[in-house]
Amino acid sequence: MKKYVCIILLISMGCKGVSQEKEAVTEKEEEQTEAFKVVKSEEEWRKELTELQFYVLRKAGTENPGSSEFLKNKMAGTYVCAGCGTALFNSEYKFDSGTGWPSFDREIEGNVAFDVDYKIGYKRTEEHCAVCGGHLGHVFEDGPRETTGLRHCINGAALRFVPEEQ
């Protein structure tokens, strides 16, 4: 029995853990950061963003459901990146998904980039600003069937609203 326990321990010690992949992830993040038009240091972002905006945009965090000031906003205008001001979503494509986060059935093409995310154990499509790389949220295929069928589930903290001029 001791022999089997020793073998199992040796095998498990030889396995590569996720914690050992931190360096590779950091290198990937640095490569992606350099590809964006707007690049700032963490210190610069911290000075410009609120604590919640920094958490969502720069650390890929998620705000609490139902907490966004934009959740019930019905005004005409454009939702822009809170980090760099890039236009991301038009108000005409916003809908109430009942999820607790602002939702849109389409993005402004070319201004939102997509990546695959496995952070919670299964595949999701992450959305980020194509100009500064700020994390926005995720896109799901359970949106309005009569339009695109997509639901861009976006953190309100990642957005600013620019009302349409009247």
Catalytic residues: 153
User: What's the length of the chain?
Assistant: 166
CA distance 129 to 135: 7
CB atoms within 10 A of CB 33: 14
Burial group, residue 153, by CB count within 10 angstroms (0-12, 13-18, 19+): buried
Tokens of 132: 């500064």
CA distance 160 to 55: 16
CA distance 54 to 87: 19
Give SS3 for 131. coil
